[in-house]
């Protein structure tokens, strides 16, 4: 008898089910390749070409770096990102600590208020800053610098907008605590400052590093705030816009995009590394801790949280108030004049309804695509390499600034030889672009919830000869329903408020409200811009409220099994 | 069963994960209606073997033949098995009835018949009337029984159990052992259970497959595996065993630590090895007289500790400082009649049949030699030869 009977796996017998799975994986792969990777590669190629489309090597980059007016923006961007990160992360750190580890009162209220900026377009805080600290601002005299138009304004606006993003990550980090470590420390009579340094800080270390990189990426790539309140202070994101829209210099736009892509990619890579290490940190046997009361500390923390929330409310309140002022600062009577958008630039009410339509499509189609691709990459066996690639591509949008993605879409989809050329200038390209722009967070949400579902369900179904799509419909989808709803509302809100990605892609028939805010501001109609921004925020809040109601209703009805 | 052809035949199965070899040339035959346990420590390949049989893991080499059909490359959907996992893997959003009927839906059974089948199965797992509950409302043991019913509902030819009892607490586990055995006998279904619990394997299985590092260490009935462990690994893993490193002096004497000992057996030609016997096989003697050293191993050792274990007493004896302590299990009555005291020097004897000697694999050709032996001899023969039984 031969020692080993060589029977190298003959091609596995395929049935329709396996074919269907392969088809979907391949479809998902094609989707991400066509809607993400190829546009980006086209942009890379463009940065190496001259205006006539011939290969020009690095000459565009040489031109860029020999122009100090342009390279200044690199330093400016880094400067903005650095200060915003410092302010936001330190504030959010204390805030998250107060919410998770103190016996402070009104935690729920503070938490709800702190999430408000998520629903506002990033232009809103910038407009609000103009009313607060601008040349005719009500708090003009409080401003320690000459003008709000510049780095101070950008940092303040970005701090408002980025705060909840930092807070969410840090709250999660602080929640992963093991009460037994604190009990052990206390039983050894450790002073509380040492407990903080040796137990608390190490346990949130990864979350903290993660936050720093996320906020740095968010702020260095932001377009909206710098556009409205940057004044003469140029940053990379606004440079791209100016090169493309102002000077029609697409090659230079591509060069700046490549440069902006670099810090984002680096911080993205670091963040992924950190994330991987964190997963192994908390043992499953950890006992969650319940915060202890300590009157003085809790009072101080409550004061701090009140101040932060006060600032957030001030910014939102200012924008709301200003939107109702008839003619700032001469006619302070309240009216709805600023909401008569049809009298202004930017497409009027039509653009608001376009935005609604675009957001609804993005939420609807996007959720289906995200969930299906996440399901395929998590739960299905065939084509391991393709699924790895799928997971990798799904993480990439996180590192691509919206404005870079928008420009890449021009290069790719506006190319006359591209078979998808027809979608250029339609609603469809806006939906596609927005979906890809916000893809990563949705994908991660879906993957996280799928990971919580027993990995043996597919094996059991196979043994019972039930096709995978039946199990997907009858079991997996109902189990993941809460996160599916989360994804859809996340996509809706972000599609409503985003500016950067779509600013290059709308046409005269598909003007969008968020872009209209920018155009009205450019035309000097700051009050109507604020009004539109407030309307967008209100719409997002209503969507969130509806989502809460619907999911509450649906969960009540379909999730009866969750009750014991 | 007298059927000459086995129900399941596994030939030269090989599977690795990167550089880790999970299955190393596994060959095995299973008769129809048998209850087989794959036993071994974690990482020994037992679960991988089960998943390969189910088609959930694709082997790199080898063949699997089930009921005369080569299923080596079939996807799980086209194989004939039911499976139960440690995690139950019940669908939490479906009721117990819906769970059990899950696989019946596409068998085109009339609705009434389907319901009858579900009710009959609930009856058989002794949980009638829980059909409308959700899995979350059941205890772990109940959930596992429902999972069993779901796996049996489609009447598969092969039942695969992947550590089905490991997540349950001790009392429920004992109860479910009997229930699984009873169901298996009633259905007469060929069953493979993966476990790392030797008690489970010994009490439930018709035959045990002991696995170590992706290879089969021994195949045998529970009694064979317990009484005649084929290798030192099996001896260590199944039950407790006194194992003492020894140097071979000649064909019938050994150096145990610094003592020369005459053994009542013929030793193989080698330099060193391990001498072993079960704690319950040793007997306490008041004096060394009247014991034939041709039939018994006789040792003198100092009593160090007495551990009360309930039904019996475990004595911890020191033979030599260089050796691990020897354990001896005595019935409580014998203990009270002999009344040995700690520190006392005692005589103990081990009958020849209970002694095992495992020659050490010499590092030089350890890789080559055992393989050729294995190829020629069935594994459970190797130990028998050595013990001279």
Pick from A310, A420, A293, A302: nearest CA to A39: A420
Percent of chain B at pLDDT > 70 equals 92
Check pLDDT > 90 for residue B177.
yes
Question: Chain B residue with minimal CA distance to A472?
Answer: B91
Q: Tell me: the pLDDT tens digits for B10-48?
A: 999 999 998 999 999 999 999 999 999 999 999 899 999
Confidence of residue A2 (pLDDT cuts 50, 70, 90): very low
Percent of chain A at pLDDT > 70 equals 94
Question: Chain A residue with minimal CA distance to B139?
Answer: A564
Q: B75 and A13: CB-CB below 8 Å? A: yes
What would the mean pLDDT of A53-65 be, rounded to a whole number?
87
Q: B77 and A479: CB-CB below 8 Å? A: no
Chain B residues near residue A557 by CB distance under 8 angstroms: none
Half-sphere exposure of B29 (CA within 13 A, CB side): 6
Q: Is B106 on the interface with A (CB under 8 A)?
A: yes
**CATH, range A17-44+342-564:** 1.10.3720.10
Q: Is B82 on the interface with A (CB under 8 A)?
A: yes
Is the Cβ–Cβ distance between A24 and A388 less than 8 Å?
A: no
Q: Tell me: the pLDDT tens digits for A457-500?
A: 999 998 998 989 999 999 999 888 889 999 999 999 999 999 88
Is pLDDT larger for residue A269 or for residue B149?
B149
pLDDT for B380? 38
Q: In angstroms, rounded to a whole number, what is the distance separating the alpha carbons of residues A181 and B291?
A: 60
Architecture of domain A75-240+303-322: Orthogonal Bundle (1.10)
Q: What is the pTM of this model?
A: 0.84
- Other residues' Cβ atoms within 10 Å of the Cβ of residue A52: 7
What would the mean pLDDT of A52-65 be, rounded to a whole number?
87
Q: A461 and B81: CB-CB below 8 Å? A: no
- Exposure b/e, A211-223, CB count within 10 A at least 16 = b: bbbbbbbbbbbbb
What would the mean pLDDT of A378-387 be, rounded to a whole number?
85
Q: A10 and B375: CB-CB below 8 Å? A: no
| Of B72, B74, B103, Cβ closest to residue A7 | B72
Residue A116 neighbours by CB under 8 Å, 6+ apart: A164, A312, A313, A316
B44: distance to nearest CA of chain A, Å?
Answer: 20
Chain B residues 305-324 within an 8 A CB cutoff of chain A: none
- Other residues' Cβ atoms within 10 Å of the Cβ of residue A488: 24
Q: Tell me: the pLDDT tens digits for A122-160?
A: 999 999 999 999 888 888 888 888 888 999 999 999 999
Check pLDDT > 70 for residue B212.
yes
Q: Is B375 on the interface with A (CB under 8 A)?
A: yes
Total number of residues shown for chain B: 389
pLDDT for A179? 82
Check pLDDT > 50 for residue B74.
yes
Check pLDDT > 80 for residue A343.
no
Q: Is B130 on the interface with A (CB under 8 A)?
A: no
B136: distance to nearest CA of chain A, Å?
Answer: 6
Q: B89 and A15: CB-CB below 8 Å? A: no
Confidence of residue A366 (pLDDT cuts 50, 70, 90): very high
Check pLDDT > 60 for residue B347.
yes
Question: Chain A residue with minimal CA distance to B374?
Answer: A3
pLDDT for A5? 35
Is the Cβ–Cβ distance between A298 and A104 less than 8 Å?
A: yes
Q: Which residues pair with A331 in a beta bridge?
A: A327
What would the mean pLDDT of A69-82 be, rounded to a whole number?
92
Q: What is the DSSP string of B47-77?
A: HHHHHHHHTSS--SEEEEEETTEE-TT--GG
Going from the C-alpha of B268 to that of each of B225, B262, B360, the distances in angstroms are: 21, 14, 11
Q: B76 and A459: CB-CB below 8 Å? A: yes
Check pLDDT > 60 for residue A3.
no
At B35, list the tokens.
């209850």
Check pLDDT > 70 for residue B369.
no
Q: In angstroms, rounded to a whole number, what is the distance separating the alpha carbons of residues B347 and B34?
A: 44
User: What does the H/E/C string look like for A342-399?
Assistant: HHCCCCHHHHHHHHHHHHHHHHHHHHHHHHHHHHHHHHCCCCHHHHHHHHHHHHHHHH
pLDDT for B387? 36
Q: B154 and A479: CB-CB below 8 Å? A: no
Check pLDDT > 90 for residue A551.
no
| Of B54, B61, B93, Cβ closest to residue A4 | B61
Confidence of residue A293 (pLDDT cuts 50, 70, 90): confident
Q: B77 and A560: CB-CB below 8 Å? A: no
Q: Tell me: the pLDDT tens digits for B250-307?
A: 888 888 888 888 888 888 888 889 999 999 998 888 777 777 778 889 888 999 999 9
Is pLDDT larger for residue B375 or for residue A363?
A363
Percent of chain A at pLDDT > 90 equals 49
Q: B63 and A5: CB-CB below 8 Å? A: yes
At A176, list the tokens.
């992963």
Confidence of residue A9 (pLDDT cuts 50, 70, 90): very low
pLDDT for B373? 35
Check pLDDT > 90 for residue B84.
yes
B120: distance to nearest CA of chain A, Å?
Answer: 18
Is pLDDT larger for residue B4 or for residue A172?
A172
Burial, A412: exposed, middle or buried (Cβ in 10 Å; 0-12, 13-18, 19+)? buried
Chain B residues near residue A475 by CB distance under 8 angstroms: 91, 93-94
Q: In angstroms, rounded to a whole number, what is the distance separating the alpha carbons of residues B235 and B240?
A: 8
Q: B136 and A564: CB-CB below 8 Å? A: yes
H-helix or E-strand spanning residue A326: strand A325-327
Count of A-B CB contacts under 8 Å = 113
| Of B58, B76, B134, Cβ closest to residue A561 | B134
The DSSP 8-state label assigned to residue A292 in this structure reads P
pLDDT for B362? 58
The DSSP 8-state label assigned to residue A472 in this structure reads I
Q: Is B85 on the interface with A (CB under 8 A)?
A: yes
> Is there a common fold for A17-44+342-564 and A75-240+303-322?
yes
pLDDT for A7? 37
Q: A12 and B76: CB-CB below 8 Å? A: no
Question: Chain B residue with minimal CA distance to A473?
Answer: B93
Average pLDDT, chain B: 86
Confidence of residue B180 (pLDDT cuts 50, 70, 90): very high
A538: distance to nearest CA of chain B, Å?
Answer: 36
What would the mean pLDDT of B95-100 be, rounded to a whole number?
94
Residue A343 neighbours by CB under 8 Å, 6+ apart: none
pLDDT for A562? 67
Strands (DSSP E) found in chain B: 8-17, 20-30, 35-39, 61-66, 69-70, 82-84, 158-162, 190-195, 207-212, 215-220, 242-250, 253-256, 259-262, 272-277, 283-285, 296-308, 312-318, 326-331, 345-351, 356-359
Question: Chain A residue with minimal CA distance to B153?
Answer: A464
Is pLDDT larger for residue A69 or for residue B386?
A69
Where in chain A are the domains?
17-44+342-564, 75-240+303-322
Q: Tell me: the pLDDT tens digits for A509-539?
A: 889 999 999 999 988 888 999 999 999 999 9
Check pLDDT > 90 for residue B52.
yes
pLDDT for A140? 83
A370: distance to nearest CA of chain B, Å?
Answer: 23
Q: A463 and B54: CB-CB below 8 Å? A: yes
pLDDT for A209? 87
ipTM of the complex in this document: 0.77
Question: Chain A residue with minimal CA distance to B101?
Answer: A464
């Amino acid at each position: 008898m031969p020692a080993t009977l060589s029977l190298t796996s003959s091609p596995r017998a395929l049935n329709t089910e396996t074919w269907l799975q392969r088809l979907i994986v391949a479809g998902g792969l094609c989707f991400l390749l066509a809607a993400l990777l190829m546009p980006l590669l086209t942009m890379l190629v463009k940065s190496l070409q001259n205006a006539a489309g011939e290969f020009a090597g690095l000459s565009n980059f040489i031109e860029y770096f020999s122009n100090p007016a342009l390279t200044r923006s690199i330093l400016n961007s880094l400067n903005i990102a650095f200060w915003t990160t410092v302010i936001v992360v330190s504030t959010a750190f204390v805030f998250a600590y107060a919410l998770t580890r103190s016996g402070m009162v009104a935690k729920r209220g503070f938490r709800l208020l702190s999430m408000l900026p998520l629903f506002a377009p990033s232009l809103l805080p910038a407009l609000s800053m103009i009313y607060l600290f601008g040349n005719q601002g009500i708090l003009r005299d409080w401003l320690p610098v000459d003008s709000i138009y510049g780095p101070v304004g950008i940092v303040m606006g970005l701090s408002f907008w980025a705060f909840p993003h930092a807070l969410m990550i840090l709250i999660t980090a602080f929640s992963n605590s093991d009460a037994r470590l604190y009990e052990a420390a206390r039983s050894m009579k450790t002073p509380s400052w040492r407990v903080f340094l040796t137990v608390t800080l190490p346990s949130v270390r990864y979350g903290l590093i993660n936050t720093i990189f996320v906020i740095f990426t968010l702020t260095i790539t932001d377009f909206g705030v710098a556009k409205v309140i940057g004044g003469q202070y140029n940053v990379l994101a606004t440079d791209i816009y100016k090169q493309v829209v102002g000077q029609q210099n697409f090659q230079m736009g591509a060069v700046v995009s490549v440069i902006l892509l670099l810090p984002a990619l680096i911080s993205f890579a670091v963040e992924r590394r950190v994330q991987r290490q964190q997963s192994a940190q908390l043992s499953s046997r950890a006992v969650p801790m319940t915060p202890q009361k300590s009157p003085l500390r809790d009072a101080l923390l409550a004061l701090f949280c009140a101040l932060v929330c006060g600032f957030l409310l001030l910014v939102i309140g200012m924008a709301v108030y200003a939107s109702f002022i008839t003619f700032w600062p001469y006619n302070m009577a309240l009216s709805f004049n600023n909401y008569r958008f049809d009298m202004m630039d930017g497409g009027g009410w039509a653009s608001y309804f376009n935005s609604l339509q675009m957001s609804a499509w993005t939420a609807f189609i996007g959720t289906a695509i995200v969930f299906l691709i996440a399901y395929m990459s998590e739960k299905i066996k065939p084509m391991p390499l393709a699924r790895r690639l799928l997971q990798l591509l799904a993480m990439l949008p996180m590192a691509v600034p919206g404005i870079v993605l928008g420009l890449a879409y021009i290069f790719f989809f506006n190319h006359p030889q591209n078979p998808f050329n027809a979608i250029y200038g339609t609603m469809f390209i806006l939906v596609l672009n927005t979906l890809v722009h916000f893809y990563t967070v949705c994908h991660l949400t879906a993957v996280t919830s799928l990971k919580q579902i027993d990995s043996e369900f597919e094996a059991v179904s196979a043994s019972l000869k039930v096709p995978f799509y039946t199990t997907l419909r009858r079991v997996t989808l109902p189990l993941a329903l809460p996160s599916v709803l989360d994804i859809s509302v996340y996509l809706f809100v972000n599609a409503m408020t985003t500016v950067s990605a779509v600013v290059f892609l709308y046409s005269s028939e598909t003007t969008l409200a968020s872009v209209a805010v920018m155009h009205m501001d450019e035309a000097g109609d700051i009050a109507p811009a604020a009004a539109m921004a407030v309307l967008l925020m209100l719409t997002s809040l209503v969507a969130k409220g509806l989502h809460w109601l619907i999911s509450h209703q649906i969960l009540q009805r379909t999730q009866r099994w969750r009750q014991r | 069963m007298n059927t000459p052809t086995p129900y399941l035949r596994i030939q030269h199965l090989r599977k690795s994960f990167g550089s880790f070899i999970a299955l190393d040339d596994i060959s095995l035959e299973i008769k129809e209606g048998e209850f087989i346990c794959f036993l071994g420590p974690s990482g020994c390949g037992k679960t991988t073997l089960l998943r390969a049989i189910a088609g959930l893991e694709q082997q790199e080499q080898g063949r699997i033949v089930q009921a005369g059909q080569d299923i080596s490359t079939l996807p799980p959907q086209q194989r004939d098995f039911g499976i139960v996992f440690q995690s139950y893997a019940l669908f939490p959003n479906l009721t117990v009835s819906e769970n059990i009927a899950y696989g019946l839906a596409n068998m085109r059974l009339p609705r009434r018949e389907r319901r009858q089948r579900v009710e009959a199965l609930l009856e058989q797992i002794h949980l009638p009337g829980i059909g409308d509950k959700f899995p979350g409302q059941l205890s772990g043991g109940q959930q596992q029984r429902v999972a069993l019913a779901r796996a049996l509902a489609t009447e598969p030819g092969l039942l695969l159990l992947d550590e089905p009892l490991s997540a349950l607490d001790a009392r429920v586990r004992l109860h479910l052992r009997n229930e699984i055995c009873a169901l298996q006998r009633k259905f007469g279904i060929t069953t493979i259970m993966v476990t790392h619990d030797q008690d489970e394997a010994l009490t439930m299985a018709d035959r045990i497959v002991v696995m170590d590092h992706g290879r089969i260490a021994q195949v045998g009935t529970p009694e064979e595996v317990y009484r005649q462990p084929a290798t030192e690994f099996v001896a260590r893993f199944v039950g407790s065993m006194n194992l003492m490193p020894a140097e071979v002096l000649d064909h019938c004497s050994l150096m145990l630590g610094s003592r020369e000992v005459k053994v009542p057996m013929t030793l193989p030609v080698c330099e060193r090895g391990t001498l072993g016997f079960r704690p319950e096989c040793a007997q306490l003697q008041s004096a060394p007289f009247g014991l034939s050293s041709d039939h018994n191993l006789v040792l003198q050792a100092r009593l160090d500790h007495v551990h009360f274990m309930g039904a019996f007493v475990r004595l911890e004896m020191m033979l030599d400082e260089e050796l691990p302590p020897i354990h001896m299990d005595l019935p409580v009555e014998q203990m009270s009649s002999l009344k040995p005291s700690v520190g006392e020097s005692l005589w103990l004897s081990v009958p020849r049949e209970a002694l095992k000697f495992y020659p050490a694999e010499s590092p030089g050709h350890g890789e080559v030699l055992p393989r050729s032996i294995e190829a020629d001899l069935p594994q459970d023969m190797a130990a028998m030869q050595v013990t001279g039984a």
